[in-house]
Structure 1
Amino acid sequence: MGSSEAALLRSLPLLLLASLLASLLPPSTALGFRCSNSSSAAATCQSLAGYVSPNATTLAAVQALFGVKHLHSILGANNLPLSTPASFNVSANQTIVVPFNCSCSNATGVSNRRPVYTVRSGDVLYHIAREVFSGLVVYQDIRQVNGIVNESLIEIGQKLWVPLPCSCDDVDGEEVVHYAHVVAAGSSVAAIAAQFNVSQSTLMDINGIADVASLQAGKVLDVPRKACSSAIRNDSLDSYLHIANGTYVFTANDCVMCTCDAANNWTLRCQPSQLKPSNQSACPSMQCEGSNLLLGNSTSTSCNHTSCAYAGYMNQTILTVLVNDNTCPVSNSFAMKDSFRAFSWNFFLILILPLLSFHHIQ
């Protein structure tokens, strides 16, 4: 008997157990989150997922597992200092927010062909979904997108696309960043709504929850995190860019850093980044046309505030726009004109009323 046959025999009990567990699990729900924007520019977007590490690990390991290209993308999603090293320790059961690209089609959204997991010795789909990726997907979804007929027969070294759930839809008329949240044991709809500053009714509606008592541990919820408003143009290469409160991202080939903070009145704040451009060339000019202001700079008088805001990028050009916030009171000349008109009308009445009264007496 060869070594491969012996290894197969040793793994049979595990395979049989996995098959038994799979047969006891409920069938897979619809793949991904609800996403109706499948025929517009919003068919792609940035989404987030809450990965709960089953063991102590590092940011570098999380980055590799989810195929995140740049460490600074994970740092921004978790609002960690940009100086945080890849070796930063992640404790067991600690949640790390992972950013990824979302793609919508057929009214649902899943991660765009990422992450890709390489099967190891002893792996089965249930273990990969439930433990390796902390329940962000169910094993049936991995089987479906990879065309696997028998979930118990996967090979060492096989590459599997793990379709994380996501969406690009606006919620209640507002731009949001959709966050995949795995319900912890003992949690509730009210607690999750309070944690992410979203209403219970909204949370229940987009997740099809009819009764708060029906919420189960391990369920993946679509949590809409409010995004900052921006001046990014629809024809920009990053027109899809929505940034959630308490996070920052890099865009325009890493030349621009944008931050979302509710303290700034939910307005996106962007400035030149300190990173080396990802395209290895120098960053283009970031000066607002018709002004000496650079991106992120502003000037103020007692009641007028003008800033140079980010409007996107295209063709090696960073787009900017001047944004004015004028709180100056109405000009005194207008007030004087209104007062004069009121005085003239009152004076006319004073003159005409006695004459009318005299004519009536006659």
Structure 2
Amino acid sequence: MPKTLLYLLLLFSNAAMVLVTPKSTIEPCSNSDSCSALLGYTLYTDLKVSEVGSLFNVDPVSILTANAIDISYPDVENHILPSQLFLRIPVTCACVDGIRKSVSTHYKTRPSDTLTSISNQVYAGLVSADQLREANDIQDPDVLDVGDNLLVPLPCTCFNGTDNSLPAVYLSYVVKDVDTLAGIAARYRTTLTDLMNVNAMGSTAVKAGDILAVPLPACATNFPRYALDHGLIVPNGSYAITASHCVQCSCGPGNLNLYCMPASLAVSCSSMQCKNSNLMLGNVTTQRSSAGCNVTSCSYGGFVNGTIVTMLSTSLQPRCPGPQQFPPLIAPPSSVTRDSTYAPSPAPQSDGAGPAGATTPKSSVVPSSGSIPGLPPASGPSGSVSSACSLTNSLSTFPPAFMLYLFVKFIVSIS
């Protein structure tokens, strides 16, 4: 084979490799602080709730509450969740070697495992085979001993627990084939501009395997630093269990004020009655007056040295508050439907102008910040998108089949 032909073949192969390289949002860090984060995970097979918990080394109950699944069902931790169900997995996001990631997950290898199968199937693309190899110092990726305990570094971001100066929890979302950035924004009730800024994107283009940081509005707490659950933050529309399963906190759909009450799992818990009052945790009394409404409430103040801290507060408000709104609870899922809350985010509806099944929107909304394609918007965060470069953006505008056609045509002309 002529050297010129060999060189062109290698060049085309490298170009194809660039086209399929997924991108992931990376947040540099320089301190030891951690935050609460979420992973978007699609089940690769039917799994019990407890098995999902073991897979990520997290409390199974926290998985249920993060997805607003009713925990009062009998033996709920042994309920079998269906394959392809999409769940939000709560994890602790730490700072490791200058990058935000979750490093509390370990996986014990089985006879049929490879780094690729663990990456693509078991953890649904949240970690790559190369990341597994590097994190575990594996010399030969084709040789895995059964029972090896592998560290699984998982992507997460904190961004100071805020989005546009409001409390937020960040979800690491693996882009599916059917996804568009507009569809993802619509699903999580945010904007294209916000997603592009958070992920330092220069265009709205995404492809399967990309991992995006998606900000979710949340209810934050102001518990003291010495409280065991200091920094508790609950995404809007979900719940959290704290204080040794004694207290259940929710972030209602109508507001971003955390509301805590005794949990349905509570068995042996410290007193939840506010001092100098008959009110229990979560109770609110109101009394109308000519000046407004006198409101007295017994709220949760954190879990300190095994004790549930309660705080009695009184205030004068212009009007009496309505009943507390709770995120709607669902039964433990047993099937997956396209219309499910947990289904992959849909592409925008076609307006009929394009071919059937087209997923590209008629027009794309780009932040009006004068940003240049290939560079992050001017108001973007300090994070970065790995494997992103101008070559990728340029090549991605040409279909691989067309590039192959040109390559073959060129070879024929010189032969």
Aligned to 2:71: 82
**CA drift at 1:52:** 0.8
Contact 1:209 1:215 in 2 (8 A): no
Q: State the partner residue of 1:301.
A: 287
Within the alignment, does 1:314 sit opposite 2:304 as a pair? Answer: yes
1:34 aligns with 2:23: no
Partners of 1:146 and 1:161 within 8 A in 2: yes
Q: RMSD of the alignment, in Å?
A: 2.6
Give 2:214's aligned residue: 223
Other structure's SS at 1:60 match: helix
Give the alignment partner of residue 55 of structure 2, picking from 50, 65, 78. Answer: 65
Q: Identify the residue that residue 326 of structure 2 maps to in structure 1.
A: none
Specify the alignment match of 1:326 in structure 2: 316
**1:36-185 map, 5 Å:** 36=29, 38-39=30-31, 43-68=33-58, 70-84=59-73, 85-114=76-105, 116-169=106-159, 170-185=162-177
Q: Distance in 1 between matches of 2:77 and 2:305?
A: 32
User: For structure 2, which runs of at least 5 residues remain unmatched after alignment?
Assistant: 1-12, 320-415
Ranges of 4+ aligned residues in structure 1 off by more than 6 Å: 25-30
**1:199 lines up with 2:191 in the alignment:** yes
When residues 231 and 289 of structure 1 are mapped into structure 2, their CA distance, relative to the original with a 3 A threshold, is: farther
Q: Which runs of 5+ in 1 are unaligned?
A: 1-19, 330-362
User: Is the CA contact 1:54–1:131 (under 8 Å) kept in the aligned structure 2?
Assistant: yes
Tell me how far apart the structure 2 counterparts of residues 232 and 162 of structure 1 sit (CA, whole Å). 31
1:6 alignment counterpart: none
**Residue type matched to 1:218 in 2?**
G
> Which residue does 1:190 correspond to in 2?
182
Residue aligning to 1:286 = 272
Count of aligned pairs: 296
Q: CA deviation at 1:28?
A: 8.2
Q: Closer, same or farther in 2 for the Cα pair 1:92/1:283, shift >3 Å?
A: closer
Q: Against the structure 1 CA distance between its residues 24 and 76, is the aligned structure 2 distance closer, same or farther, given a 3 Å change threshold?
A: same
**Cα 1:177/1:35, change in 2 over 3 Å:** farther
Q: How many Å separate the matches in 2 of 1:323 and 1:193?
A: 38
Give the fraction of aligned pairs with identical amino acids, expressed as a percent.
Answer: 33
Q: Which moved more, 1:141-150 or 1:316-325?
A: 316-325
> Does the CA contact (< 8 Å) of 2:22 and 2:208 recur in 1?
no
| TM value normalised by structure 2 | 0.65
The answer to whether structure 1 residue 237 and structure 2 residue 228 are counterparts is: yes
Deviation track 1:90-109 (CA, whole Å, cap 9, x = no partner) reads: 33322122222221244422
Say if 2:220 and 2:232, in contact at 8 Å, map to a contact too: no
Determine which structure has the larger helix proportion and give its number. Answer: 1
Residues 266, 179 of structure 1: CA spacing in aligned structure 2 closer, same or farther, 3 A cutoff? Answer: same
Q: For residues 151 and 123 of structure 1, do their structure 2 counterparts lie closer, same or farther at Cα, with a shift above 3 Å needed? A: same
Report the 3-state secondary structure (helix = DSSP H, G, I; strand = E; otherwise coil) of the residue aligned with 1:54.
Answer: coil
The 1:317–1:61 alpha-carbon spacing in structure 2 relative to 1, beyond 3 Å, is closer
Cα 1:220/1:112, change in 2 over 3 Å: same
The DSSP-based 3-state class of the residue aligned with 1:205 is helix
Q: What displacement does 1:112 show?
A: 3.2
* 1:301 partner SS: strand
SS at 2:270 equivalent: coil
Alignment partners' CA distance in 2, 1:225 and 1:328: 30
User: Structure 1 residues 237 and 200, CA, compared in 2 at 3 Å: closer, same or farther?
Assistant: same
SS in 2 for 1:227: strand
1:242 CA displacement: 0.8
CA distance 1:104–1:323, change in 2 (3 Å): farther
Corresponding residue for residue 346 of structure 1: none
Of structures 1 and 2, the one scoring higher in RCO (CA 8 A, sep 6+) is 2
What is the CA distance between 1:322 and its match in structure 2? 3.0
Shift of 1:224: 1.4
Alpha-carbon contact 2:62-2:240 (below 8 Å) kept? yes
Q: If you compute each CA radius of gyration, which structure gives the higher value, 1 or 2?
A: 1
Alpha-carbon offset, residue 312 of structure 1: 0.8
